Amino acid sequence: MNPRPLLLILLLTALTATNAQPPRDGTGPRDRPGRPEQGRPDRERHHSVIERWLNHLEKQDPAEHRRLTELREADPDAFRGEIRRQLAEARESAGVRRGGRGAPPELSREIKALRVARTDADRAEAREALHAALAEHIDQRLAMREQRIQSIREELDRLETRHRADKARRDTWIEETLERLLEE
């Protein structure tokens, strides 16, 4: 069994639950005197989602996990943007796999038109419109994936260039590091 769809659904559920919570202003039913805080603050909950995603990547795609871990250290803002993008992509991907219930929202009008069509001609027209909208949606997803592939290729090229440069200056690097360690 592939754990990825299950993990994605779990992440989606956690994110949906996080976004659906009312503000904690002291007036809700959970805020009665004597009742302990039941949820974690949003920041902790968000951090937990990120850590679960990184743990998932560590098992499924160690190279991507390494890249994100390095990015987290080097550029926290870029890391947050990349995590946001990956989680959004995972949510979208999991939604499409669930079939009609998880259909992309941009197709809801066409789906509804097909469901309420009364005649064969109306159904055929609605199906054609849904087909065209779905084709456009899938083309957009494919274009996004191509951009992601290009981005990964550029990152790989950058890493390979850096790796070649580091290999070329290996001996110098060792000596400089040794001198710094001995100075401390």
**6 versus 165: which is more confidently predicted?**
165
Which of 36, 38, 61, 47 is closest to 14 using CA atoms?
Answer: 47
Residue 97 domain-assigned?
A: yes
Q: What's the domain count of the chain?
A: 1
DSSP state of 107: G
Residue 78 domain-assigned?
A: yes
pLDDT average, residue stretch 32-38: 47
**164 versus 101: which is more confidently predicted?**
164
**Which residue range(s) make up the domain with 141?**
3-20+44-183
Residue 28 domain-assigned?
A: no
Residue 23 corresponds to which amino acid?
P
Predicted confidence (pLDDT) per residue in 88-136, tens digit: 887 776 654 444 456 777 788 888 888 899 999 999 999 999 999 999 9
Give the model's confidence band at 41: pLDDT under 50 very low, under 70 low, under 90 confident, else very high.
low
pLDDT of residue 5: 66
Side-chain half-sphere of 129: how many Cα atoms within 13 Å? 17
DSSP state of 37: P
Mean pLDDT of the chain: 80
Residue 62 domain-assigned?
A: yes
pLDDT average, residue stretch 155-175: 95
Which of 20, 10, 90 is closest to 52 using CA atoms?
Answer: 10
Residue 153 domain-assigned?
A: yes
